[in-house]
Amino acid sequence: MPSRLDRLPWSPFHWKVVIALGITWLIDGLEVTLIGSISGVLHDEATLHFSAGELGQIGSFYLIGAVTGALFFGHLTDVMGRKKLFFVTLAVYLSGTLLTAFSWNLWSFVAFRLITGAGIGGEYSAVNSAVDELIPARVRGRIDLIVNGSFWLGAAAGSAGSLLLLDPHIFPIDIGWRLGFGVGAVLGLIILYFRTSIPESPRWLMTHGREREAEEAVNAIEAEIEKETGKPLERPGEEITIHPGRRVSLKTVAKAMFVQYRRRSILGFSLMVSQAFLYNAIFYTYPLVLITFYRVPESRTGLYLLPFTASNFLGPLLLGHFFDSIGRRQLISCTYALSALLLLFASWLFVTGKVSAAGQTIMWTLIFFFASCAASSAYLTVSEIFPLEIRALAIALFYSIGTAAGGVCAPWLFGALIGTGSRLNVTYGYMAASLLMIAAAVVEAVYGVKAERASLEQVAEPLSAQA
């Protein structure tokens, strides 16, 4: 079964999978960027009048929701299937987004962001596991990076949209930001329709003793591709024997992740913590940096985020194929290390006052060209280095650990550092992010797994195939 899926030529079916599942990140990027762009507006007395510290808290509570949702829905994804859960998690996510548009004070805003975060946390598990199990092995790396990187297409749209929504000459100051969340939620409903055509993962079906359904799903995919290409498919390669239906207990999960695959767990933790701290520290608070230290008008911060978001998508798009050709270990180590070194240089420019707002944005644009590849490769890594039966839970666990350790505290911390009005204090935060990225680069160089162009079952043998 895995060999039949991996030998398929790229086709409209695979585009359908990428678009229907990956578009979630685009809408998430639009919404998260909107939150960053409107932070200055929410600080205004004419709106909800949040302080810098409260704005940081909002980002942190969103991530707390994401951690909780990832663990809860991640477990259900392995138990109930990929397809059921990527419908449920998207519905939760869109509900939270729509409710955010009607927030009336800090705690209502926090509660609705918590719901939104729970949905997106579940999406990471359900969507990443489904994409990896349906995409051919030879292109899995670049596709995974581009899918995760599509977040930044949404971020670019959010930055551009904020220029319109936050313009007081077009919309009242307390209405524009609410429209942004409402429109995003309505657009997201379209995704629910597209997902009806995506099959359940045949790999998941096989390990749960549903051989007939798995066979029917693969037969349908093969027939669709043969009809599209007009050519017979190649013969599948090697086989793997499994013993489906075995119950995977928490004891089995713990043994697999922390005994059998202990080094891989250290690797996943290091990659996720460092990239989560870097992104959540800088991205959530960059508009506040522009307003506080560069006196950029609140309504213009989205303009500075546009090149920043563009480079975040171009990185995976232009460098993604090297992760499949040169190799995971080499590219992941390099992108983490380059991001860290460039951030140290940018920190020095910032603290010495040698750059303007435009110059600072240019530095972030360069840094995140590489950092976006690093961050996307962290999700790629944790989604392919553990056995199929615990894949979604593994994604959820390391996303949660990384986000809790590196992400929840970062917006709060940087909100407080920016609130002091001291460039030096903010620079200390940037240096901490750099050191975490360097440490992750070293761990990848030592513990990195050779997964390029290899079947998921070759990278990590299913638990049901083990004696």
pLDDT tens digits for range 430-456 = 999 999 999 999 999 999 999 999 999
What share of the chain has pLDDT > 90, as a percent?
A: 38
426, pLDDT greater than 70? yes
Mean pLDDT of 26-43: 73
pLDDT, greater one: 290 or 163: 290
Report, at the CATH architecture level, how domain 2-235+248-465 is classified: Up-down Bundle (1.20)
Q: For residue 144, what pLDDT is reported?
A: 92
Domain ranges of the chain: 2-235+248-465
pTM: 0.85
Are residues 93 and 187 in contact, defined by beta-carbon separation less than 8 angstroms? no
> Which residues are within 8 A (CB) of 64 and not within 5 positions of it... i.e. 6 or more apart?
114, 117, 404, 408
Q: What percent of the chain has pLDDT over 70?
A: 95
- Going by pLDDT thresholds of 50, 70 and 90, the confidence category of residue 406 is low
Q: Cβ distance 163 to 82 under 8 Å? A: no
**Rounded mean pLDDT, 54-72:** 82
